[in-house]
Amino acid sequence: MEDDRPFSGQEEEEHSFPAVDESEDIVGADPDRELWLKFAQAGTQQDFCQSWLALQCRILESVRCAMVLLGNPDRGPFTPVAVWPDSSLDMNHLTPAAEKSLKERRGLLTESEYTPAPDSPAVISYHIAYPIEISNQLHGVVVLEVERNSQHEVQALMRQLHWGTAWFEVLIRRTEAVKSEEINERLQTVIDMLVSAVEHESFHASAMSFVTKLATTLDCDRVSLGFKEGKRVKLAVLSHSALFGKKMNLMRAIESAMDEALDQQSVIVFPSPPDAPAQVTRSNQDLARQYESGSILTIPLSLGGRCFGCLTLERQAENPFEKSLVETLDTVAAMAGPILETKKLEDRWITRKVIDSFSTQLKRLFGPRYLVRKLILLIIIALVVFFTFYSVDYRVTAPTSLEGTIQRVVVAPFNGYIKEAPARPGDVVKKGDVLCLLDDRNLKLERLSKATEKVQLQAEYQNAMAKLDGAQMRIIKAKIDQTETQISLLSGQLDRTRILAPYDGLVMMGDLSQSLGAPVELGQVLFQVAPLDSYRVIAEVNERDIDEIAVGQTSEMVLTAIPQEVFTFIIDKITPVSTAKEGSTYFRVEGRMPEISPRLRPGMEGIGKITIDRRKLIWVWTHEAIDWLRLQFWRWKA
């Protein structure tokens, strides 16, 4: 039977804890003096919890057993750190109440029945679990097993437990303060060391300042800094020693110790601590033996999983490197190492930078990893091979337009006036169709006048003939011939008042529909007619491509009005006439069309492509840029 009841422990009853007093009177009267002394002087978390739990169980009544579980805040795992009355007792029967309290993050009162031994009777008791929660973080739980008492007694126990757990806040706050102080000290040390590494511009000055600062601050006999060159580490700087070239044996010993740490990619402490993992420390041991360095710490410098150097610190044997100091120095090395590596790389000669960069890229291309880079290289190689051997038709692109092979101009045959103008630009006309009518009234009247004059002259001629007046007859005869000529001329002009289309074609120019009655003069251009069965293609070729054009080359053209159809034309003539347009110079190239489509019209424009020959695709794409560079080079060439 179980009775699960949450409780808050917020009752108004108050309990006070006895104070520690070392006077003889109080000590004699207080049987818990030793427990209170341990509680007040507890130096570890386990001692604090064990003394607190013992005091709490003595203050509370009817407690059979108890334990305290602590762990990482909110994460766990939560393990027992204190057990009462004896750490050897089996506390598994308290585990369910502890787990439930941790899961629900609240205090629980559970009634439980268990059998301590196979032959013993069942024991009925209460399990009281109270979570240790500080600043909304769960740090652990306290679990008590108490005798089954009255409700009032149980509530008193729970209130006392609630007040008693407040001491854990003191413990945790004190622990956090100690950790915070240690972290602050470590950060201050790290910052001081980093300042020495960045306060100088050059690599050698920064490295020397860094190792000297380490040696002075940490009371080290010698601090060495080396960087990997090839497969081995080369010593770069030595504390308190600007020139160390003559110390060849010392340099080799330090470099061997650095190589040893770099090969294992782990921090080496010599002598090794008892709880240290198995490591090879032979070179560090030789360095300590040969140069009387009792304690050696070698830290690899790495960035992004790549080890590029080592830091070695040497001390006397009586001053070993503690674990906390090793962690601090490891942090310093992790932060200062990349800074010094960057300064070292920046101090190289430009030629060395180029060689190293090229070497690095080659290693990445032909070494492990960098799959994307290798794929890009393969793609580039494939493209180079493709463009080297693949050829296409090289074609010159030029704007094109259509013109009629011939264009007939229709002019005014004489001075007159426009009577009718049925034809307009864009009309398709047949041979003999009326383009325009001129007013013929004056011509008809003049012809009638001349005809009447002729009749009169013929009558005069008859009279002269009757009189046998030969001279008069000849004069009149001449006048009659002149009049007949004028009549014939007027008749011809009357015939030409009907201006007709000279052939089947398209009216290209001449809109007289808005000029009816307007006068025209002899020779004035009235219409321009182009045939529909004979065209000439005009291509405007840029001057940079004119050298490639030759008579007889086959070309293709797409017109703006008919983009879905391709028309063929053949180059017929290359004129030396050039025109400037849009900042470039163009030459006029003429071509003929072997086949004529009824859909074509003079004046249509489009884009033509003149086929030159087969050339490499890479040349087709780059020749314009190469030609431009040649011109620029020639321009600036001395």
Give the DSSP letter string of 429-442: E-TT-EEEEE--HH
Residue 182: per-residue pLDDT: 64
- C-beta separation of 420 from 496 below 8 A: no
User: Comparing 34 with 297, which gets the higher pLDDT?
Assistant: 297
Which two three-digit tokens encode residue 590?
A: 């003429």
The residues, any chain, with a CB within 8 Å of residue 442's CB and separated by 6 or more, are 416
Rg of the chain taking only CA atoms, in angstroms: 58
Q: For the chain, give every domain's residue range.
A: 5-164, 190-347, 408-527, 534-636
Q: Assess whether the region 5-164 and the region 190-347 belong to the same CATH fold.
A: yes
Residue 606: per-residue pLDDT: 93
Alpha-carbon gap, residue 188 to 174, rounded angstroms:
21
- C-beta separation of 617 from 392 below 8 A: yes
Average pLDDT in the 26-31 region? Answer: 49
Q: Is the pLDDT of residue 627 over 80?
A: yes
Of 537, 599, 567, which is closest to residue 404 (Cα–Cα)? Answer: 537
Strand partners, 453: none
DSSP per-residue codes, 265-326: TS-EEESPPTTPPP---HHHHHHHHHTT-SEEEEEEEEETTEEEEEEEEEE-TTS---HHHH
What is the SS3 assignment for 392? Answer: strand
Task: Tell me phi and psi for residue 608, to 5 degrees.
Answer: -115, 150
Q: For the full predicted model, state whether its pTM sits above 0.85.
A: no
Average pLDDT in the 74-98 region? Answer: 82
Of 427, 599, 598, 603, which is closest to residue 501 (Cα–Cα)? Answer: 427
Alpha-carbon gap, residue 27 to 34, rounded angstroms:
9
What is the pairing mode between strands 63-70 and 295-303?
A: unpaired
Average pLDDT in the 562-572 region? Answer: 90
Instruction: Please state, rounded to an integer, the average pLDDT across all residues of the chain.
Output: 80
Look up the CATH number of domain 408-527.
2.40.50.100
Q: Is the pLDDT of residue 1 over 50?
A: no
- Band the pLDDT of 22: cuts 50, 70, 90: very low
Strand partners, 521: none
- C-beta separation of 70 from 50 below 8 A: no
Alpha-carbon gap, residue 210 to 193, rounded angstroms:
6
User: Comparing 407 with 116, which gets the higher pLDDT?
Assistant: 407
Of 179, 419, 210, 412, which is closest to residue 329 (Cα–Cα)? Answer: 210
Which two three-digit tokens encode residue 459?
A: 């009558």
Of 494, 493, 456, which is closest to residue 476 (Cα–Cα)? Answer: 456
According to CATH, the superfamily of the domain at 534-636 is Efflux pump adaptor protein, beta barrel domain (2.40.30.170)
CATH class of the domain defined by 190-347? alpha beta
Average pLDDT in the 58-83 region? Answer: 83
Task: Tell me phi and psi for residue 624, to 5 degrees.
Answer: -65, -45
Residue 10 CB neighbour total at 10 angstroms:
7
Average pLDDT in the 343-365 region? Answer: 84
Dump pLDDT digits (tens) for 146-199: 877 656 667 777 777 777 777 777 777 777 676 667 666 666 766 777 777 777
Report the residue count for the chain: 638
Least confident of 457-466, 516-525, 625-634: 516-525
Least confident of 187-191, 371-375, 553-557: 187-191
Could you please state the CATH topology (level 3) that the domain comprising 5-164 is classified under: Beta-Lactamase (3.30.450)
Average pLDDT in the 431-444 region? Answer: 78
Alpha-carbon gap, residue 232 to 258, rounded angstroms:
9
Dump pLDDT digits (tens) for 240-269: 775 555 567 888 888 898 998 888 888 888
**Alpha helix (H) ranges present in 321-436?**
323-346, 350-366, 371-389
DSSP conformation class of 10: -
CA-based end-to-end distance of the chain: 108
- C-beta separation of 505 from 426 below 8 A: no
- C-beta separation of 610 from 541 below 8 A: yes
Residue 428: which H helix or E strand, with range? strand 428-429
Alpha-carbon gap, residue 193 to 337, rounded angstroms:
11
Which residue type does 150 have? S
